[in-house]
Amino acid sequence: MIRLFAAVAVPAEIAQALARRQTGLNGARWRTAEQMHLTLRFFGEVREDVARDLDAELSTVGGAPFAIMLEGAGAFGEGADINAVWAGIAESEPLKRLAKGCESAARRAGLKPETRNFRPHVTLAYLRRAEPDRVAHWIQANNLLKSPPIWVDRFGLYSSFLASDGAQYRLEAEYAL
């Protein structure tokens, strides 16, 4: 079994700018620049043969290159259950189409449909025992975040390995748009 997801990598210069915002939350497990990405579809644990089928299906996802922009900040969860802070992505129809293409590829490879709505974001930190007031302050301080355009001309299939210091990701395949 292999744990997989499809994602757009965050360019190094954008990741460095995001890293400067990674402060002010006690106990946050901040993501490194190498860990920053925009997940298009999380596939979870799949068998090797299904992974091969998924790779073949993802290679058929078409579309033209497009630009996205980071915009705003937020958190997942509420109150003491806040578990992550993130940078948002401005509304993008081409990005939605790419995510739908990855979902269709997953279904053709025999995976179950994703039940959660696509909420494009870049996770900046995972939180344990979050202090809601501090998280609210962090969001307010970062809510005007806006990046220059990020050119998306490819996406990747990544594997994820859980380690003591968090998830480690490896690019398994890359697909040009």
Which of helix, strand or coil describes residue 118?
coil
Angle at the Cα of 173 (from 166 to 102), degrees rounded to 5? 85
Amino acid letter for position 116: R
Give the active site residue among 14, 15, 121, 150. 121
Instruction: Please say if 137 is a catalytic residue.
Output: no
Which of helix, strand or coil describes residue 150?
strand
Angle at the Cα of 110 (from 116 to 123), degrees rounded to 5? 35
* Upper half-sphere CA count for residue 106 (Cβ side, 13 Å): 22
Give the active site residue among 4, 8, 9, 37. 37
Q: Which positions are annotated as active-site residues?
A: 37, 121
